[in-house]
Amino acid sequence: MRLSHLAEPALEFGSGLRHPDIRFGIMDYGPFDVHIDGASRRIKLGIVGSADTVEGTARWIEACSDGFEAKSSRQANLFPRFPGLRNDETFRCEFTTSSELQRILPTKEIGRLVAIPGQREVTREVVSTIVNEIAVLAERTALPDVVLIALPVEIIERTVNAREATGENDDEVDAEAPVEAEPGSELDFRGMLKAACMRLRIPIQLMWPTTFDPSYRIPRKLKENSDRRMQDPATIAWNLITAIYYKAGGLPWRLARDARELRTSFVGLSFYRSVEGEHMHTSTAQMFDERGEGLILRGGRMVESEEDRSPHLTAEDAYALLRDSLKVFRGQHGHYPARVVLHKTSRFDRNELDGFHKAIDERDIDYADFVWIQKSMTRLYRLGVYPPLRGSLLRFSKDQALLYTRGSVDFFRTYPGMYVRGR
Amino acid sequence: MAKKIGRTDIIGERGIAYIRQVVLSMGFMFYETGGVEAGIDGFIELRDETTGAVSNLLLQVQGKATERTRLQAETDTTFEFPVTEADIQYWMHGTAPVLLLVVKLDEGKAYWKSIKEWFSDIEHLKSRKVVFDKRSDFFSVDAKAAIVAVATSAKPGSTGPSVRLHESLLVNLLEIGFAPKIYWAPTHHHTDKSFGAALRELDSKASSEWIVRSNAVLSFNDLDKWPWNKICDVSAMEVFDTSEWSGSDDVDRVRDFVALLNRAIGDFVRPDLRRDRDSGILYFVKPRNRGKLNYAYRSLRNLTTRRVVKGYGRQRDHPGKPAYFRHSGFRPHFVRYDQKWYVEVSPTYHFSRDGWEPDFKAGEHLKKIKELENNAAVMGQFVMWQAFLTTHRTGDLLGEAYPHLRFAPLESFELDVGVPDQLWTAQESNPTSPLFDFDKMQEGTE
């Protein structure tokens, strides 16, 4: 066993200038694609919600344009101000909305939805209602770049909060278990909504009314969640606007890379229960290239492995998935990558390895990494108040290691885990 | 007539020489203003010691050297340094942070203060004096991290050179050793439950390092001995090297081996600890006739004791009785890394109503205490469990060593980066708020 520390990686922003923090990087240098031709300098936002939440969300976008003061604190690096969106500040990009891009669900309709009995039924109906509204926006000549789903409190209570009401504890989820959603649960609601919107080819962003008005009270069914603290307005704006910028096709930042490094394609695999057939499992692969772009590919059918009862791909599906993914890479870059990194949350089984190797060998790719990521209860303890630094790496062997992806951060001079919360 | 240079000039020069020496030992640059100056003797420029990169992050320095043995209002821990209104005006007006450095030449010591930070307090401004804390304001190479913090705080978002801090870390793994042989024999019992019942009928104290799998029993115990030989088919018994399980790549074999280890640790910890059936947590048993229990052990430095069972609150109907008991416990998890087996120890608590029956509010109690415990508190508990597991049943006058399982502590790990705890806590908006190891981070934006 050997303990070491991986330094915080540098991120690249406008003109390729570097900073370790996303917010200060964007503030000082602009987003990564600011000087790249073809990058949108105007993002049109659609809004779907109740009369109340649509109005509030539009008001919030307006407020973001003016910016928010930093939270009053001595931790200037953890809580920077949000400088606003006007005058080429921050994203050097306009964020606009207009009544043509907004859809209001009548009070009566919301009443009808939340009165539907049954978790599964209400989730299904809410998703289909919202999707119908987005479909209307998708017909417009001036398409929105991103649609904000401004959830009314009544709907949050019946859908997003539903899982918490079942008393499930996130911490206790078995790390070996595949990521699966309970029917009607929070994950299910988001997953179903996202999957439905993927077909419409319009990215969405969920918004809570507490974003534009902290005085909103969202009733909690479980007592233990009643102390949820809201983030300060500047932090909320940073998180949401950065996400929206990315979803609209912008590149806020990318990982700084050395020109000498190999051209690498990163492929992530995940498994989920599909919306239509509750019993069919499918997998998706997300491929990131060094431009930082993510391209969703739909994978093959999942099978349960005899080896460890986790979801796995068949050899043919694994082969087809990576073959297609490499084709997409070639389409973007004009050549195949020199190195492929595959990662997922369950062990790679024999069939998958066979399939992936076939695709890799076919393209004469010399370097392939198979990374299997799992939550662990192995902990490092230091003699002090703060947990170990993010990036602490305990190597057990050539191919097994423990990495602290959350921990104390030098730039923030604290452990940010306890501050970053809320929506 | 002889030319002269005054004594005060020499004192000033000695002060600057001292400052320069400390600054250079930090790996930073020191540029003297020289010649005519109005209250700034020089500049410190931060420099990354490992790469040599200089940052253009500057600090202004005003040195005050003295040969006095006793400074104004000096005690063992503090002293005051009065400054003029004009000095304050000058320092506060500038763009760079200002350090006031008082060099006590007779002792060969210096003390520092970040002036803008100090005088941002209106009370300090009114008093026109700087109060130095001899411990926290001591100017030596150890003040490096704090000086970087001052330099970078002038402009939020600026990054200083990383400060190397040597640190030792523990990992919550104990390497285990186990019995070299595993015994296998057919039995007509189909389940652990029925085999266990038959076994206890023969011997109520029979140990439990065995599991039943597809009509055979697998055990660390010699099955040819009483009472096992009564309930399994000894004529067909086989003896294997444990390594056939511990080193196997077969998922089912490894699972059976872990099950056996779990049975063994449950037996090993007796009689002091008991296992909670639902959670699998091993926890200290409450003494029959007492409401509390202390456990004495050797911590990292010295002998210490920890209260490991205690009653809390009081019952509504019987105010003399506690509402519930809290038992120190841990969750054992056997893992194999690089062909070696370890037990991963996750400290936690068990809650009971009377020392025996589980408390239905356990979840709430656990949440509350975990919110109060920081990294150091959890580490303290781990050190206790490490002491328990490595010293329990190792064999002494009173009993034989436990034959099937033993635990060895791992060496601590050294890292040349770390966390300056004092500096960070001093900047927390709420320094008393707990910092959790237990991650409670919610999802960000999606």
Domain-located, residue B167: no
* B437 to A205: CB separation less than 8 angstroms, yes or no: no
Look at A423 and A145; give whichever has higher pLDDT. A145
Distance CA B185, CA B198 (A): 16
Banded model confidence at residue A119, pLDDT cuts 50, 70, 90 = confident
In a shared domain, residues B280 and B427: yes
Count chain A–chain B contacts defined by CB atoms under 8 A. 171
In a shared domain, residues B32 and B136: yes
* B338 to A1: CB separation less than 8 angstroms, yes or no: yes
Interhelix angle A350-362/A315-333, nearest 10 degrees? 30
Banded model confidence at residue A82, pLDDT cuts 50, 70, 90 = very high
- Residue B434 contacts by C-beta under 8 Å, 6 or more apart in sequence? A418, B371, B372, B373, B374
- Looking at the complex, does the CB of residue B433 fall below 8 Å from at least one CB of chain A? yes
For residue B236, what is the DSSP state? G
In a shared domain, residues B277 and B424: yes
Domain-located, residue B29: yes
Q: Which candidate in A378, A394, A423 is best for mutational testing of the B interface (most B CBs within 10 A)?
A: A378
C-alpha torsion B313→B314→B315→B319, nearest 10: -170
Distance CA A15, CA A31 (A): 9
Banded model confidence at residue B34, pLDDT cuts 50, 70, 90 = confident
* B441 to A406: CB separation less than 8 angstroms, yes or no: yes
- Looking at the complex, does the CB of residue B10 fall below 8 Å from at least one CB of chain A? no
Banded model confidence at residue B436, pLDDT cuts 50, 70, 90 = very low
- Looking at the complex, does the CB of residue A4 fall below 8 Å from at least one CB of chain B? yes
Of the candidates B375, B413, B427, which has its C-beta nearest A385's C-beta? Answer: B375
Mean per-residue pLDDT over chain A, rounded: 80
CB contact residues (below 8 A), chain B span 346-365, against chain A: 346, 364
The total number of structural domains in chain B stands at 3
* Other residues' Cβ atoms within 10 Å of the Cβ of residue A36: 12
The pLDDT of residue A280 is above 50: no
Residue type, A310: S
* B167 to A382: CB separation less than 8 angstroms, yes or no: yes
* B427 to A413: CB separation less than 8 angstroms, yes or no: yes
Look up tokens 């082969």; give the residue: A319
* Other residues' Cβ atoms within 10 Å of the Cβ of residue B336: 16
Tens of pLDDT along B113-163?
A: 999 889 988 889 889 999 999 999 999 998 998 999 898 888 888 887 777
Q: Could you tell me the CATH number of the domain that includes residue B63?
A: 3.40.1350.10
Minimal CA–CA distance to A361: which of A329, A323, A316?
Answer: A323
Closest residue in B to A420 (Cα) is B441
* A76 to B156: CB separation less than 8 angstroms, yes or no: yes
Q: Which candidate in A382, A406, A414 is best for mutational testing of the B interface (most B CBs within 10 A)?
A: A382
A392: distance to nearest CA of chain B, Å?
Answer: 9
What pLDDT is stored for residue A301 in this prediction?
57
Look up tokens 């186990």; give the residue: B178
Question: Pairing state of beta strands A392-397 and A311-313?
Answer: unpaired
In a shared domain, residues B327 and B436: yes
Of the candidates B171, B416, B439, which has its C-beta nearest A417's C-beta? Answer: B439
Of the candidates A224, A380, A385, which has its C-beta nearest B425's C-beta? Answer: A385
What pLDDT is stored for residue B273 in this prediction?
96
Range of B372's domain? 273-391+411-441
Sign, Cα dihedral of B277, B278, B284, B287: negative
C-alpha distance from residue A358 to each of A318, A339, A352, A353, B295 (Å): 9, 14, 10, 8, 59
Of the candidates A242, A383, A417, which has its C-beta nearest B376's C-beta? Answer: A383
CB contact residues (below 8 A), chain B span 268-307, against chain A: 300
The pLDDT of residue A391 is above 90: yes
- Looking at the complex, does the CB of residue A305 fall below 8 Å from at least one CB of chain B? no
CB contact residues (below 8 A), chain A span 72-111, against chain B: 73-77, 80
- Residue A255 contacts by C-beta under 8 Å, 6 or more apart in sequence? A9, A10, A11, A12, A290, A292
Q: Which candidate in B333, B360, B424, B430 is best for mutational testing of the A interface (most A CBs within 10 A)?
A: B424
In a shared domain, residues B431 and B335: yes
In a shared domain, residues B238 and B381: no
- Looking at the complex, does the CB of residue A411 fall below 8 Å from at least one CB of chain B? yes
Q: What is the ipTM of this complex?
A: 0.81
* B346 to A377: CB separation less than 8 angstroms, yes or no: yes
What pLDDT is stored for residue A317 in this prediction?
86
Indicate the residue among B264, B297, B312 that finishes a domain: B264
What pLDDT is stored for residue B157 in this prediction?
81
CB contact residues (below 8 A), chain A span 330-369, against chain B: none
In a shared domain, residues B58 and B141: yes
In a shared domain, residues B286 and B423: yes
Indicate the residue among B228, B246, B264 that finishes a domain: B264
Paired residues of A273 in beta bridges: A281
Mean per-residue pLDDT over chain B, rounded: 88
| Chain B residues closer than 8 Å to A75 by CB | 427-429
Paired residues of A153 in beta bridges: none
The pLDDT of residue B445 is above 50: no
In a shared domain, residues B14 and B149: yes
- Buried b / exposed e across B175-214, counting CB within 10 Å, b at 16+? ebebbeebbbbbbebeebeebeebbeeeeeebbbbbbbee
In a shared domain, residues B372 and B253: no
What pLDDT is stored for residue A105 in this prediction?
94
What pLDDT is stored for residue B6 in this prediction?
84
Closest residue in B to A308 (Cα) is B251
Banded model confidence at residue B315, pLDDT cuts 50, 70, 90 = confident
Of the candidates B170, B416, B438, which has its C-beta nearest A381's C-beta? Answer: B170
C-alpha distance from residue A372 to each of A176, A270, B62 (Å): 11, 12, 55
What pLDDT is stored for residue B218 in this prediction?
95
pTM of this prediction? Answer: 0.81
Of the candidates B382, B433, B440, which has its C-beta nearest A381's C-beta? Answer: B382
The pLDDT of residue B194 is above 70: yes
The pLDDT of residue B348 is above 90: yes
| Chain B residues closer than 8 Å to A21 by CB | 157
C-alpha torsion A235→A238→A244→A250, nearest 10: -160
Tens of pLDDT along A198-224?
A: 778 888 999 988 888 877 777 655 334
Helix (H), strand (E) at residue A210: helix A209-212
What pLDDT is stored for residue A302 in this prediction?
59
Indicate the residue among B264, B294, B314 that finishes a domain: B264
Banded model confidence at residue B432, pLDDT cuts 50, 70, 90 = low
What pLDDT is stored for residue A277 in this prediction?
44
Q: Which candidate in B330, B369, B375, B427 is best for mutational testing of the A interface (most A CBs within 10 A)?
A: B375
End-to-end CA distance of chain A: 39
Domain-located, residue B405: no
C-alpha distance from residue B417 to each of A3, B141, B184, B392 (Å): 11, 16, 50, 35
Domain-located, residue B166: no
The pLDDT of residue A299 is above 80: no
| Chain B residues closer than 8 Å to A349 by CB | none
In a shared domain, residues B280 and B210: no
Of the candidates A5, A380, A415, which has its C-beta nearest B435's C-beta? Answer: A415
Closest residue in A to B446 (Cα) is A205
What pLDDT is stored for residue A282 in this prediction?
57
Of the candidates B172, B375, B442, which has its C-beta nearest A421's C-beta? Answer: B442
What pLDDT is stored for residue A256 in this prediction?
83
- Looking at the complex, does the CB of residue A304 fall below 8 Å from at least one CB of chain B? no
Minimal CA–CA distance to B158: which of A77, A259, A336?
Answer: A77
Domain-located, residue B162: no
Distance CA B379, CA B381 (A): 5
What pLDDT is stored for residue A276 in this prediction?
47
Minimal CA–CA distance to A6: which of A414, A401, A415?
Answer: A401
Minimal CA–CA distance to B26: which of B119, B99, B133?
Answer: B99
What pLDDT is stored for residue A33 in this prediction?
86
Residue type, B313: G
Domain-located, residue B164: no
- Looking at the complex, does the CB of residue A400 fall below 8 Å from at least one CB of chain B? yes
Domain-located, residue B406: no
In a shared domain, residues B15 and B74: yes
Domain-located, residue B402: no
The pLDDT of residue A307 is above 60: no
What pLDDT is stored for residue B132 in this prediction?
95
| Chain A residues closer than 8 Å to B251 by CB | 307-308
